[in-house]
């Protein structure tokens, strides 16, 4: 806009000079006009270059989220951990987003923690000169780190560590984007790997389906579950996620995911002499899974649901030891399903929600963990929220088509202040 004003002023000055000048001075006027036109062309080119630069994405962006709060656990399971009311430092996640060249991108997401975070993790810190200061060891968790190439929406490829593309919760794992505070059991127990190291292809195909529907796909080859950072075998874990979505008449998305892989490594086992899980043991198994997910938004109502299964088949003689001395894990089929409904009350900051989940896996507490939960999200600003949630869980044994209630139970109350940064 500014360069157009400058160009206009220069042209006006040139035309005025040509009209007022004597006839004898005409050659010098033409020279001045040529000089002015050259200046106009130079200014226009510089302004156009400036406009184009402003439209380009920045080479580097830094953003993330942080949450912290207070929680309390009530349970009759003595092995469940601390039951005291405690303040917690939740997630401190930063995203390092690089765009060094057109079509190329690198994303690194790291989470900062205080772990191991006990008195024995302190050491002397010489950073401030004397070396008498103490500092507590802490850890950085790499959530994802990959290099990506994508020229068109229909196809892109990532190489590195990425979030396993399945369902809703594992991909939208950032606290500000989630509705409920407590995670489903299949995420907590890592029924499927949450992160994978390998290659992922992805894209969106809006013209493949009729109407306003579009298809999104993800497919990957990875190391799968490994005891370390490298894969000790040639077997690889493969999988994918297909999503169909639309915005008409409401925002909806439905997905299906699959996963197939192996684990084969020497891991820590249960040492009967010390009671510690540190005796070397060779464990090998094959796992495969299928998952379904659905997301529907109707006005202020948000609905989310996922169903996930996993089949685990151990190699003969290479079963994992359980926490019970001398007892080995058996082949199993696990399943988990949840339903979540949230409603944003018009004209207010409040979004109450309800949540129900059933997690089936054979344990010493029971075969089925049933959870009912309710919560409230309070939106101070689009970037700042207070999340409150109360959950009650009970365990049952499955006997045919009947359920036998077990003694194990758990109540959990949590509050977290969440900020996108």
Per residue in 362-394, pLDDT (tens digit) is: 776 678 999 999 999 999 999 999 999 999 999
User: What count of other Cβ atoms lies within 10 Å of the Cβ of residue 418?
Assistant: 24
Q: Would you call 312 helix, strand, or coil by DSSP?
A: strand
Per residue in 190-248, pLDDT (tens digit) is: 999 999 999 999 999 988 898 899 999 999 999 999 877 888 889 999 999 999 999 99
Rounded Cα–Cα distance for residues 284 and 267 (Å): 10
**Proportion of the chain above pLDDT 90, given as a percent:** 56
In terms of phi and psi (left: phi > 0; alpha: psi -120 to 50; beta: otherwise), the region of 196 is: beta
Per residue in 90-134, pLDDT (tens digit) is: 899 999 999 999 999 999 999 998 877 655 667 777 766 655 676
For the whole prediction, is pTM greater than 0.85? no
Question: Is 382 buried (19+), middle (13-18) or exposed (0-12) by CB count in 10 A?
Answer: exposed
Terminal CA-CA length for the chain? 33
In terms of phi and psi (left: phi > 0; alpha: psi -120 to 50; beta: otherwise), the region of 326 is: left
Comparison of pLDDT for 321 and 96, the residue scoring more: 96
Residue written as token pair 């439209």: 55
Per residue in 248-266, pLDDT (tens digit) is: 999 999 999 999 999 887 6
Comparison of pLDDT for 22 and 392, the residue scoring more: 392
Rounded Cα–Cα distance for residues 54 and 395 (Å): 58
Question: Is 67 buried (19+), middle (13-18) or exposed (0-12) by CB count in 10 A?
Answer: buried
Rounded Cα–Cα distance for residues 257 and 259 (Å): 7
CATH superfamily of 57-420: Porin (2.40.160.10)
Residue written as token pair 């984007």: 177
pLDDT at residue 334 tops 80: yes
């Amino acid at each position: 806009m500014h360069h157009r004003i400058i160009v206009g002023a220069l042209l006006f000055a040139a035309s005025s000079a040509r009209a007022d000048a004597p006839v004898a001075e005409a050659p010098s006027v033409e020279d001045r006009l040529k000089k002015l036109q050259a200046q106009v062309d130079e200014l226009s080119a510089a302004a156009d270059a400036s406009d184009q630069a402003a439209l380009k994405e920045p080479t580097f962006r830094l953003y993330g989220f942080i949450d912290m709060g207070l929680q309390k656990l009530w349970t009759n399971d003595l092995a469940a951990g601390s039951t005291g009311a405690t303040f917690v430092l939740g997630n401190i996640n930063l995203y390092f987003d690089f765009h060094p060249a057109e079509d190329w991108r690198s994303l690194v997401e790291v989470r900062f923690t205080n772990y191991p975070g006990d008195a024995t993790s302190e050491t002397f810190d010489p950073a401030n000169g004397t070396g008498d200061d103490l500092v507590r060891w802490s850890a950085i968790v790499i959530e994802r780190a990959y290099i990506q190439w994508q020229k068109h929406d229909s196809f892109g490829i990532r190489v590195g560590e990425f979030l396993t593309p399945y369902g809703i919760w594992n991909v939208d794992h950032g606290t500000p984007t989630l509705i409920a505070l407590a995670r489903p059991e299949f995420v907590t127990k890592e029924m499927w790997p949450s992160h994978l190291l390998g290659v992922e292809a992805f894209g969106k195909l809006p013209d493949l389906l009729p109407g306003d529907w579009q298809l999104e796909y993800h497919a990957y080859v990875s190391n799968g579950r490994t005891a370390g950072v490298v894969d000790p075998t040639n077997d690889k874990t493969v999988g994918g996620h297909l999503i169909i979505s639309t915005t008409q008449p409401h925002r909806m998305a439905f997905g299906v995911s699959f996963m197939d892989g192996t684990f084969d490594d020497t891991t820590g086992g249960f040492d009967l002499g010390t009671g510690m899980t540190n005796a070397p043991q060779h464990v090998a198994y094959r796992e495969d899974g299928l998952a379904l997910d659905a997301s529907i938004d109707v006005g202020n109502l948000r609905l989310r649901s996922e169903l996930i299964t996993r089949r685990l088949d151990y190699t003969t003689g290479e079963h994992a030891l359980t926490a019970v001395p001398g007892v080995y894990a058996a082949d199993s089929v696990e399943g988990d399903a949840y339903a979540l409904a949230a409603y944003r009350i018009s004209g207010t900051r409040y979004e109450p929600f309800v949540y129900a989940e059933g997690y089936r896996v054979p344990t010493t507490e029971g075969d089925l963990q049933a959870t009912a939960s309710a919560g409230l999200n309070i939106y101070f600003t689009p970037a700042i929220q207070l999340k409150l949630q109360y959950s009650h869980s009970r365990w049952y044994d499955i006997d045919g088509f009947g359920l036998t209630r077990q003694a194990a139970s758990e109540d959990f109350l949590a509050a977290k202040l969440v900020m996108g940064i």
